[in-house]
Amino acid sequence: MDRVEKHLLPKRRIAERLRRAGFRIQPVSGAHSYDLLVNERVRLTLRVAFPRLRKHHVTVRERHYMYRYRSWHFNFHHHGKFGKRYTDVFVCIAMEPRHPSREEIFVIPWDAVSGKTFSLHAGRRRYAGQYAKHLNRWRVITEAAAETPARLRKVA
């Protein structure tokens, strides 16, 4: 499976899930910086990540420790820059290739994003960081679709 297929399968799944929820979904061409158009108003961008082992360095009382954490990494920026608003909602999918039922999906509105990236580390405890409240928060899309047209730019 190549990079394009790794993105298209979750994109189809999310589009179908939103259709079942009653939304009108339009796929958009690769020329756009978002993946789906919801109800002709809400730009939705998918971020799909597969688990990787990442090094993490910690210093405690002048002693250095290195750990390898299993984690998923999501980029919100374009080429290192986080500037102009190019989407209304991010859907970040932490894929679990061997256990699809354990996948985690974060539905994050643009206004809640505070940095260029989001790292989700596997651990003994559930993720409790700033995006924890967005886990399976599908109503973000409903709320964005209900906002006044003046706030959201209508896209072809």
Given a contact cutoff of 8 angstroms between Cβ atoms, the answer to whether 50 and 97 are in contact is yes
Q: Which residue has the tokens 């290195």?
A: 66
Q: Report CA dihedral (26, 27, 29, 32) to the nearest 10 degrees.
A: 70
- 155 pLDDT band (50/70/90 cuts)? low
- 94 pLDDT band (50/70/90 cuts)? very high
Q: What is the pLDDT of residues 5-56, one digit of tens each?
A: 777 889 999 999 999 999 999 988 777 889 999 999 999 999 999 999 888 7
Give start and end residues of each alpha helix (H) in the chain. 3-20, 139-146
Q: Cα–Cα distance between 139 and 156 in angstroms, integer?
A: 24
Q: Which residue has the tokens 């399968």?
A: 9
Q: Which DSSP state fits 135?
A: B
Coil vs helix vs strand at 49: strand
The two structure tokens encoding residue 126: 């559930």
pTM of the model: 0.82
